[in-house]
Amino acid sequence: MKALASSDYLVFLVYFVIVASYGYWIYRRKRKAQTTSADYFLAEGSLTWWAIGASLIASNISAEQFIGMSGSGFKMGLAVSTYEWMAAATLVIVATFFIPVYLKNKIYTMPQFLSQRYNDKVAMIMAIFWLALYIVVNLMSILYLGALAVSNISGIDVRICIFALAFFAIIITLGGMKVIGYTDVIQVFFLILGGLVATYVALNLVAEKSGAHGLMAGFNLIMKNAPDHFHMIFKKDDHNYVSLPGLSVLIGGMWITNLNYWGCNQYITQRALGADLKTARSGILFAAFLKLLMPVIVVLPGIAAYVLYQKGMFHAEMLSSAGVVDPNKAYPNLLSLLPVGLKGLAFAALTAAIVASLAGKANSIATIFTLDVYKKAIKKDADEKSLVRLGKTTVVVAMLLGVVMSLIIGEKLMGEGKQGFNYIQEYTGFVSPGILAMFLLGFFWKRTTSDAALFATIGGFIMSVVLKFLPDWVNLSFLTPYGFYQPNYDNKGVYEIPFLDRMGFVFLFCLAGMAIINFVQNKRGIQNKGLEVDTSLFKVNKSFAVGSIAILVILTVLYTVFW
């Protein structure tokens, strides 16, 4: 593949200098005020609504979207956009119901919520769960997929790219949440601009390949040449059903993965927890509108790459050494077709997405370890200065662990034809049903006990593992007519429960188990800790209500047109 030209590197250098200089300026400006752990980890009271919204998107959109989701767009089509579009609706719910409860009860970390609502045992178990999940699944996957893309575009060895991305992210993360939040505004600018340029050029390439010209001509051509790639809801006889099982994306497991990710996830909620309610809600609503745009940047290029591949435009590069098409190479191969200069801009956008996401994840790891593990279980009398210092050390250690794992197991889990985006979603789904169950009942049912929360955490995880690997032990194909198990053609046709449906079953299992435990323990008179929650918290102002309705109307139109 053709490497970047000098002008491409120049464009990328401009991006790097702008982000690094602005980050250093923010750090110098805020350094004197950054004396407490709350200020360092949460940027308490200093992020504006537009900075919160931009930071949410910059932290969310990473290699898993540009590479993984674009690869899924190459293979499955527009349907994978449901993760982005349903996230917009989810953000409205989170801003309306979740954030007010957190802010009213002065919640700064998710383990703190669990400690305050249940007990320290539940909080510590979940803190360790989250740390393992963030490092083993998120950091590792972002580093590997990101480095793979950067390597394919630049020609630089993938191992060097892993170290370079980690180093760049560490520099930004060490400045604290203020630096992350405000540099994310620039990252989002490059991310969206570069992403739109890549989409524009991809659609034009499709048009030119067919003797036409223009953006709309290219879009119409990809719809004409790949009509099967423009359905949002798959039927059971579709090979992609196991990844996106029909109506589950609207009324089933998709809500679980989104509500857990956007409402119960330190990595995301951390952006809004240092603000007042009006600012937090405005920032989250801004992020919801940006989510509606994301499929244009990360999914359409994948579909365009599929059409170009069908037309033989980069046939050789799309095949792996094993002779199997690798979806993860769709976006990098597409960028290789961009003109000189624009390739550098798209390269900067991709790097911005990767680095911003790594920085946000590392900051959340440091926050949980420092405030919820070290200060509570190791050194309760630690002063603020030592906590900030430990947080910075944790950032470096976590990133090094991510680097080591991406080098050792990254290729095995996400290489050679595997959909990296599906890997991330599925394995995060091992814990998300239980987490969401104990958060929702913790919010809205004061009689929920800590034992019930433990059952959801541990029992939900065990049930997820059993349902995932049961087909390896027992042939369950006889359950197919009842809609439980479907053949997974990405896994040698083994019959599996589609992972979104599995999350739905586990979620109901957790709710039922928690309800039984609550009933038994409440009859025994066991006391529970509640939160300050009243209906007045959920009132929204007129502008937020109008914006929320606009999002729901847009989503209704999109799903109607592309059903």
What is the pLDDT tens value at each position of the chain, 563 positions in all?
Answer: 456 778 888 887 887 787 777 777 766 665 555 555 666 665 555 568 887 887 788 777 766 677 778 888 888 888 888 889 999 999 999 989 888 888 888 887 788 888 888 888 888 888 888 888 888 877 888 888 788 777 877 778 888 988 988 888 888 777 666 666 666 677 777 777 777 887 888 888 888 877 777 788 888 888 888 888 888 888 877 777 777 777 888 888 889 988 988 888 876 777 677 678 888 899 899 999 989 988 888 888 888 888 887 776 655 455 454 555 667 677 777 777 777 777 777 777 777 778 877 887 888 888 888 888 888 888 877 777 888 888 888 888 999 998 988 888 766 665 554 555 666 677 777 888 999 999 989 888 888 888 999 999 899 999 988 888 777 676 665 555 545 666 666 666 667 778 888 888 899 999 999 999 988 887 776 666 666 677 777 888 888 999 999 999 999 999 998 88
| Residue 325 bridge partners (DSSP) | 319
Alpha-carbon span 363 to 269, nearest angstrom: 12
Nearest-angstrom CA–CA distance, 41 and 19: 20
Q: What is the pLDDT of residue 437?
A: 92
Give the position of tokens 């609502």: 117
Res 325: pLDDT? 64
- Provide the sign of the torsion angle of the four alpha carbons 518, 132, 23, 6, taken in this order: negative
Report the alpha-carbon distance of residue 426 to residue 418 in Å, rounded.
13
Q: End-to-end CA distance of the chain, in Å?
A: 37
List Cβ neighbours of 506 (8 Å cut-off, separation of 6 or more). 433, 434, 460, 463, 464, 467
Q: Which of 237, 246, 306, 293 is nearest to 76 (CA)?
A: 306
Cα dihedral: 269, 361, 382, 103 (round 10): 0
Domains along the sequence of the chain with CATH: 6-15+39-417 (1.20.1730.10), 429-532 (no CATH)
Question: What is each CA distance from 204 to 139, 199, 209, 335, 405, in whole angstroms?
Answer: 35, 9, 8, 13, 39
The torsion of the CA quartet 55, 56, 58, 61, rounded to 10 degrees, works out to 180
Residue type, 124: M
Q: Residue 319: beta bridge partners?
A: 325
Beta bridge partners of 486: 496
Residue 241 makes CB contacts below 8 A (sequence gap 6+) with: 234, 235, 486, 498
How many residues are given for the chain?
563
Question: What integer pLDDT is reported at residue 417 of this predicted model?
Answer: 47
List Cβ neighbours of 277 (8 Å cut-off, separation of 6 or more): 99, 100, 103
| 431 alpha-carbon distance from chain centroid | 15
pLDDT at 114: 86
In 415-534, which ranges are continuous DSSP H helix?
420-428, 432-444, 450-454, 460-473, 499-523
